Structure 1
Amino acid sequence: MIKAVLFDFDGTLANTLPICYYAFQNVFMKYDNRELSTNEISAMFGPSETGIIRENLTNADKEMAIEYFYEKYAEQHEYLVESYFEILALMKSLKEEDIKIGIFTGKAKRSLDISLNALDMNGLFDVIVTGDDVINPKPDPEGLLKALSFLKVKNSEVVFVGDSDADVMAGVRANVFTIGVQWLPEYQTSHFNEQPNLIVKSINEFKSYLKVGV
């Protein structure tokens, strides 16, 4: 019996990849004079945005660069990130079935809070684990296991949903049923290197699998 569904955030619950790319491109151009492609930025994903900047920026002003990232992320969020009614409806359907919902994301809490506020998703989740809450980022399952422990559910009672190879690897390593999704306009992985238990391309397909809201 499924008692909890845990979700990645960027590219899974929200089409935030465009704003992430935009903010990182501005940071690396301003501080390193480097023009990065979306693929180059995506290859850095894993740590939180603060970790990405500290590990990849050559400029010594890393803390100023981090502040600049959040400035760009916040100022363009409403223009680059669209709210999806289907996602909110899915969360409501799961809660109506008494299924706990949570987020396990590599994002730092600060940027996640910006997005949750902008998308009216505050207060929806029973547990949130961000990149700030772990020592080892995805594909390590540390954050996922923390979420399971907090919710007091077994591995066999959980589904983990994500759009990247790192998500799938974390789910497999945590020994939970792992679903790769490609249901938003932009997602990180077209062909998973490690196969999830299931791949779904629409929210209705996901609902049908869980038998909720259908």
Structure 2
Amino acid sequence: MNTDITTLLFDLDGTLINTNDLIIASFTATLNHYYPDKYQREDILPFMGPPLYDTFVSLDPERVEEMIARYREHNLANHDLMVKEFDGVYDTVKALKEAGYKLAIVSTKMHDTVVRGLQVTRLAEFFDVVIGLDDVENAKPDPEPVLKALKLLNSVPEEAIMVGDNHHDVLSGKNAGTKTAGVAWTAKGREYLNQFEPDFMLESMEDLLGILKVAGK
């Protein structure tokens, strides 16, 4: 084990599991209901990452809860059919767990939906801590979710890396004092993520094993 790092914190959607098509489809179905044919895929990409409330309140403060409910209904109805882990994720996370690293999920999704995604992709057994949107007062990029995960893992920021596909993940890690890693497969493009200067940019999830000098890599 790399003696400097003991803890890996992961975003879920777009980082460990490929929910991009599911999220875009859920936003499309919701937005088309209220604003027929107004939003295309490129218009929806900026909505990926922040909490749903932040997105929908910026569009219609009067109907934000109604829009969230419609989005979640579509998302959950299609969840298990459309979700799968990215290449290399399962084997990498398994190797990290077996090497003794502390692992947690830090997401802006609701806790139960995070757990469902982990179960569908067979990743649930590797994570001792899951922090969802409803587990904190302040979502990423606030440091609260990262710091709460670290506290529950008995870890400290100096020994952790926050891994994610969105600037909210990188900034949350930086604000909490951890190292940060971006993933080059982010739906928004690596150039977008590079603007926020993560400490590492992963071309594949297996890159973590080399960075951490996990035995055999």
TM-score (structure 2 length as normaliser) = 0.85
Between the two proteins, the alignment pairs up a number of residues equal to 211
Residue 206 of structure 1: aligned partner: 208
Note closer, same or farther for the CA distance 1:38–1:114 as it changes in structure 2 (3 Å cut). Answer: farther
Residue 42 of structure 1: aligned partner: 45
Q: 1:194 aligns with which of 188, 196, 201?
A: 196
Q: Distance in 2 between matches of 1:172 and 1:179?
A: 10
Native 8 Å contact 1:53 1:65 kept in 2? no
Note closer, same or farther for the CA distance 1:38–1:146 as it changes in structure 2 (3 Å cut). Answer: farther
Letter in structure 2 aligned against 1:21: I
Residue 29 of structure 1: aligned partner: 32
In structure 2, stretches of 5+ residues that fail to align are none
Map 1:2-81; keep pairs closer than 5 Å: 2-33=5-36, 35-49=38-52, 51-52=53-54, 54-58=56-60, 60=62, 62-81=64-83
Letter in structure 1 aligned against 2:27: F
SS across alignment from 1:146: helix
Q: Distance in 1 between matches of 2:51 and 2:31?
A: 16
Q: CA deviation at 1:193?
A: 1.7
Give me the identity figure in percent: 30
TM-score (structure 1 length as normaliser) = 0.86
Q: Distance in 2 between matches of 1:142 and 1:16?
A: 24
Q: CA deviation at 1:59?
A: 8.2
SS across alignment from 2:163: strand
Native 8 Å contact 2:49 2:166 kept in 1? no
Residues 1-43 of structure 1, C-alpha deviations (whole Å, 9 max, x = no match) = 2211001111111111211111111011113435323343332
Residue 136 of structure 2: aligned partner: 134
Letter in structure 2 aligned against 1:73: N
The Cα RMSD (Å) is 2.3
Residue 147 of structure 1: aligned partner: 149
Letter in structure 1 aligned against 2:26: A
Native 8 Å contact 1:23 1:72 kept in 2? yes
Q: Distance in 1 between matches of 2:176 and 2:201?
A: 18
Structure 2 residue 106 is matched with structure 1 residue 94: no
Native 8 Å contact 1:48 1:108 kept in 2? no
Residue 120 of structure 1: aligned partner: 122
Note closer, same or farther for the CA distance 1:140–1:37 as it changes in structure 2 (3 Å cut). Answer: farther
Native 8 Å contact 1:78 1:118 kept in 2? yes
Native 8 Å contact 2:28 2:39 kept in 1? yes
Higher mean alpha-carbon deviation, 162-171 vs 25-34, is at: 25-34
Residue 156 of structure 1: aligned partner: 158
Q: Distance in 1 between matches of 2:12 and 2:179?
A: 17
Native 8 Å contact 1:179 1:196 kept in 2? yes
Q: Distance in 2 between matches of 1:188 and 1:114?
A: 24
Letter in structure 2 aligned against 1:74: L
Residues 115-147 of structure 1, C-alpha deviations (whole Å, 9 max, x = no match) = 223222223211111122222222211111111
